[in-house]
Amino acid sequence: MTQARNFIEGLLKPAGIGLQGDRSIDIRVHDERLFDRVLRAGSLGFGESYMDAWWDCGALDEMLTRVFHAKIDQAVARNPSVWLAAIRARLFNLGSTTRAFEVGEKHYDIGNDLYEAMLDSRMVYTCGYWKNASNLEEAQEAKLDLVCKKIGLQKGQRILDIGCGWGSFAKFAAERYGTKVVGVTISKEQVELGRKRCEGLPVEIRLQDYRELDEKFDHIVSLGMFEHVGVKNYRRYMEVVERCLRENGLFLLHTIGQNNSTHYTDPWIEKYIFPNSMLPSVQQIAAASEGLFVMEDWHNFGADYDKTLLAWYYNTEKAWPNLRGKYSERFHRMWRFYLLSCAATFRSCRNQLWQIVFSKNGPPGGYASLR
């Protein structure tokens, strides 16, 4: 056996993961070049090797959960792909206006048919709320209703949705609460389908960067968009929200977060899933909002994202016979690795899901937290 294989096998052993074993969490190696590739390129090499079918695992999500718990990924993280990501994030503003639409083109515009197959009927592409839900449909409806209740939504109010996706929240708020909604997104495909889905409702969906907004709204929500803003733009983002929020309004920020402050994302996620993205920390969000807002509520339900991602995975696998004519098998393996590796980050508490409610000066009578 090569030195690289011996090293990797030694890292996996304390986590209970074997090579060529018959358990669902064992890694079945099809190409011995895997070990050198992982040591050379870290998570990027590991993910690309899976895409290239150099290895398989029966329970990919559970194996990766063990990897994250044991911090095995950090033991092989000292490689050029990580260094380059860190340097690039330090030197460049990855969330600048010139780069803002890149993630829309590379991720959200890849095909509405894929997202229609993967998501619930409302096409909500953010974490569901599973407290009293038994399936994805119920979890996403519960999440949308929870958002509306947390901001005290009232009939006739005008709401801004920053990063509106295919209009799921806008449609729900307009139909259930009788509100007017403006949604902005950087995805052309989301705008086209979102406008069709919201037809006949007081909903306006725009292809627009958040920095261009300069108008008043009763409340503002942002569900799963902050991950694309970048730490160099967090303060400006908060300033835009403060500028557009009426004095007695509330702002709800729904975002994935991480436990430590960084300036870059995982190299594999950056290259194949979310270019120019990064996850915020508690400290970074607090610093960006300081002096602009009062933090009224901070709700963490990261475990629910594990369930949501697994539901998306099962939906995708079920629909794959109808999708394979358009998407390659390498793409299929990439998408599977994306969904299950992300599920593992939440199951291992590597990542969190936060809903944070902000006010400008505190609502009259105080804010009552809802769960």
Residue type, 324: R
Residue 109: per-residue pLDDT:
76
pLDDT for 37 beyond 70: yes
Euclidean distance between CA atoms 88 and 66, whole angstroms: 30
Strands (E), the chain: 27-29, 55-57, 158-162, 180-185, 203-207, 219-223, 250-258, 294-300, 351-359
Domains of the chain, residue spans: 3-78, 98-359
Dihedral sign, Cα of residue 322, residue 328, residue 330, residue 334: negative
pLDDT for 153 beyond 60: yes
Q: Taking Cα atoms as reference points, which of 258, 250, 213 lies closest to residue 231?
A: 258
Look up residue 86 and give its two tokens. Answer: 């860190």
Residue 263: per-residue pLDDT:
81
Helix, strand, or coil (residue 170): helix
- Give the confidence band of 41 by pLDDT, cuts at 50, 70, 90: confident
pTM over 0.85? The answer is yes
pLDDT for 7 beyond 90: no
Q: What is the pLDDT of residues 171-229, one digit of tens each?
A: 999 999 999 999 999 999 999 999 999 999 999 999 999 999 999 999 999 999 999 99
Residue type, 34: L
Query: Which whole number is the average pLDDT over 64-85?
Result: 73
Q: Taking Cα atoms as reference points, which of 165, 174, 166 lies closest to residue 200?
A: 174
Query: Which whole number is the average pLDDT over 100-128?
Result: 84
Euclidean distance between CA atoms 105 and 263, whole angstroms: 23
Residue with token string 């095909």:
111
Look up residue 268 and give its two tokens. Answer: 């594999």
Answer whether 301's CB lies under 8 Å from 127's CB.
Answer: yes
- Residue 200's CB is within 10 A of a number of other CB atoms, namely 6
Query: Which whole number is the average pLDDT over 156-182?
Result: 98
pLDDT for 86 beyond 50: no
Asked if 342 is an active-site residue, the reply is yes
Among candidate residues 164, 198, 244, 342, the one labeled active-site is: 342
Residue 337: per-residue pLDDT:
98
Mean pLDDT computed over every residue of the chain: 92
What is the CATH number assigned to the segment(s) 98-359? Answer: 3.40.50.150
